[in-house]
Amino acid sequence: MGKLFGTNGIRGIFSEDLTLEFISDIISSIATHFKKGSILVGYDGRDSSPLIAKVVCSTLNYCGLDCKLAGLVPTPALEYATKALGYSGGIMITASHNPLQYSRKDELIIEDIYFNKKWIKNPKKFGKTQTESRVIRTYLDGIKSKINASKIKSKKLKVALDLGNGAQAVAAPNLCKELGCTVFLINEKIDGKFPGRGS
C-alpha cells in the first residue's frame, strides 16, 4: 500500500499529483475519519489555493459535514483557531512547512479509507459551507496572551518584517502594530509566485 502522508501532510504538484479527483477522494477519506464537523478550512497565497479550497469545502459538504472557510490565513493561525474556536478539525491548503495535522495513527486510518474507498455514502443531509472571520483575531489574541505586551509596547521597538509574499502578511504586521512597534515591511504583497525571494 502506498503512503500518502509525508512529514508535512500530503504534498504534490497541483494538476499533476494533486488532481481535483485526488483532492476530492482524499477529502472524502478525511471526512469519513472525522465523521462530523464543523471543519475549519484555510489556505495560503498560492494561485491554486482558492480553487482547491472550493473542492475541499464542496467535498466535505457532499459527505454531510459542515465547514467554515477562513480564507487566506497563516498555517499556525488556522491550527491555533481550530482548537481555540472548538472545531472538530482543520484542513490547511498550503505548500509551506506546517506542523503535523494528524497523528501517525490517524494518517494510517485515513490512508486505509482512501485506498479501500470506504467513504461516507449517502449522508442524511449535505453539509453547509460558511465563512469564519475570527481566525486572525483569535491567533493574535492567543499570541498576546503568552507575552508581556505592555513591556514590549514600552520599548517602542522598530521592526523590519520580510514577509516573503506569504500569508503572514495578513497577521504579523498587525501584531507588531498592536504591540506599539514601528513596522517596516519588505515583500508584503501576497503573491503565489513569490517574486521577492524564495518561499
Using an 8 Å Cβ cutoff, are 93 and 40 in contact?
Answer: no
* DSSP β-ladder status, 182-186 and 129-131: unpaired
Question: How many Cα atoms occupy the beta-carbon half-sphere of 141 within 13 Å?
Answer: 8
Report how far residue 34's alpha carbon sits from residue 190's, in angstroms, rounded to the nearest whole number: 32
C-alpha cell at 52: 482547491
Q: Is 29 a catalytic residue?
A: no
Report how far residue 21's alpha carbon sits from residue 62's, in angstroms, rounded to the nearest whole number: 14
Report how far residue 29's alpha carbon sits from residue 59's, in angstroms, rounded to the nearest whole number: 10
The catalytically annotated residue of 24, 48, 96, 199 is: 96
Catalytic residues: 96
